[in-house]
Structure 1
């Protein structure tokens, strides 16, 4: 079984049971993204490729830790040997930091508003980065929205001003206001990720009340003009009720604009907790479409330096996980 096929099988489950020797040093706890507020997760790596799996005592996937990060993964007929990667902050090789751990919006798929997280200070964030500076290749900043979109942007800008002197790529993923791309560009940010979240505007209106699909598209277009093709990204969740045809149209809409889509398998949570994760077969179908769209648009995920496309833990990333 090739890596991307194994990864599709595991992403369709999304979790693992962690057994064997103590592996607490390899467990990561998230304030945002898949698994936010859960029991933590681990990064399983084989031949230089990785997947992030949430820890659950009920998972059919077992990862047995034999010590020193060496593990055996088993699930049905699958038996694989690999390692656990030690996260820096949120994921391996990055300081991926959530500034505001709460949000005033109530996107139906997102558990962050339920977690009642706090706002980190710039001093605290600088200290976090300094604590892992020898183990990271990049810094990524994300945030929920507390107060207003403008307040959130100001908090992120304050952090960026504090870390300007570091010679390391910085990526930012926040909900954008009209001037956000220009302000982030002026702060020396390397890459941005503004999340379209759903494959259609109608589904966006249903899932993200109070937010604007068209405003995100405008921010993505402005960002490509500033940062260049292939340096702008957008998460699109797979499994919210869209058809394959709708997902393909969204992927090609983004790649045609110079944006690299991040196709994120749904983690059922919050108001969509009863939904199902995408099947391995669907993950592979969409990955093939994604890969074709990237090639046709001349976009290379291998050039990503920050955020999700650099990490690859939560998604199948054509060009990194498969060719």
Structure 2
């Protein structure tokens, strides 16, 4: 089995049809990002590699649960034996928590602004981590923006203070203010993720109106100096209309300054629900560009402690999804 090609094909499809024994204990549901408000997803693993797939009764991919987490995946004529992984909170081996499930911004790929989600209390978040602390290696925090970017940062910092009691690595992904890198570092956060989202400034202006891509770049630069090369991450979505050359250049620019790009296939949702998911062949080609850029920069996503690069289920990740 060529895992890299299989995962690319699965990411192109993005979903599975569940069959067999009841798998409800293995279904994870999201409060943030393009999958917020969906029917949920499952994590299918083969050895130490995993992929996350949404649940869709119309999917051409079938996942048969034989019970106890043992499962068989069928795509085309290929059958793959593996297991379903239970998410601790949102993903396996992490408490990955959305602090505020609402957002004042309107990024066109994201359904969160239309869902009227709520903000979790600090005590509630601490209790969530307490409930899974025996099954996790890290805590990861992300958030929408309830009122202002500055107010959201203050609240997330309060959450981080409350979670230091668990003595676990903490990663944080928020929309940054100029002081975010320093303030998060001072609290002992080990990794941060500030998302460029798009390969080019022009696409960012179109897809994320009201946000400042230059401010994200500056936060990334500052963060590398504080957290170190390879401890700073940035999502870049594939499938928004960028060329391979444009995404390759963005990957190179991020890696050169010490940031690990998280190359995220578009999950069509919200205003972009009619767009296609990127093809497996395109994902494989970009994976090669990504791998080469990371090698040149001496960056190793397989060493990530928190967030998406520690999970790897939603993306093709050099160092984890290839030899």
Q: Tell me the TM-score normalized by structure 1.
A: 0.99
Q: Which structure 2 residues correspond to residues 256-267 of structure 1 after superposition, within 5 A?
A: 256-267=256-267
Cα distance per residue 1:136-160 (max 9 Å; x no partner): 0000000001100011101100101
1:33 Cα deviation (Å)?
2.7
Mapped partners of 1:251, 1:282: distance in 2: 15
Mapped partners of 2:154, 2:274: distance in 1: 36
Cα distance per residue 1:78-103 (max 9 Å; x no partner): 21000000000000000000000010
1:286 and 2:286 aligned: yes
1:85 and 2:85 aligned: yes
Paired residue secondary structure (2:165): coil
Paired residue secondary structure (1:321): coil
For residue 211 of structure 2, what is the aligned residue in structure 1?
Answer: 211
Mapped partners of 1:38, 1:141: distance in 2: 20
Q: Which structure 2 residues correspond to residues 238-253 of structure 1 after superposition, within 5 A?
A: 238-253=238-253
Paired residue secondary structure (2:164): coil
For residue 312 of structure 2, what is the aligned residue in structure 1?
Answer: 312
Q: Which structure 2 residues correspond to residues 169-184 of structure 1 after superposition, within 5 A?
A: 169-184=169-184
Quick check: 2:34–2:270 contact (8 Å CA) kept in 1? no
Q: Tell me the TM-score normalized by structure 2.
A: 0.99
Cα distance per residue 1:57-92 (max 9 Å; x no partner): 110000000000001100111210000000000000
For residue 153 of structure 1, what is the aligned residue in structure 2?
Answer: 153
Paired residue secondary structure (1:164): helix
1:34 Cα deviation (Å)?
4.0
Paired residue secondary structure (2:221): helix
Runs of 4 or more above 4 Å deviation: none
Q: Which structure 2 residues correspond to residues 1-323 of structure 1 after superposition, within 5 A?
A: 1-323=1-323
Mapped partners of 1:33, 1:191: distance in 2: 20
Cα distance per residue 1:209-235 (max 9 Å; x no partner): 010111000000000010000000000
Cα distance per residue 1:256-304 (max 9 Å; x no partner): 0100000000000011111110000000000000000000000011210
Unaligned 5+ runs, structure 1:
none
Paired residue secondary structure (2:202): helix
Mapped partners of 1:198, 1:86: distance in 2: 31
Paired residue secondary structure (2:282): helix
Unaligned 5+ runs, structure 2:
none
- CA RMSD, Structure 1 to Structure 2 (Å): 0.7
Task: Report the count of equivalent residues.
Answer: 323
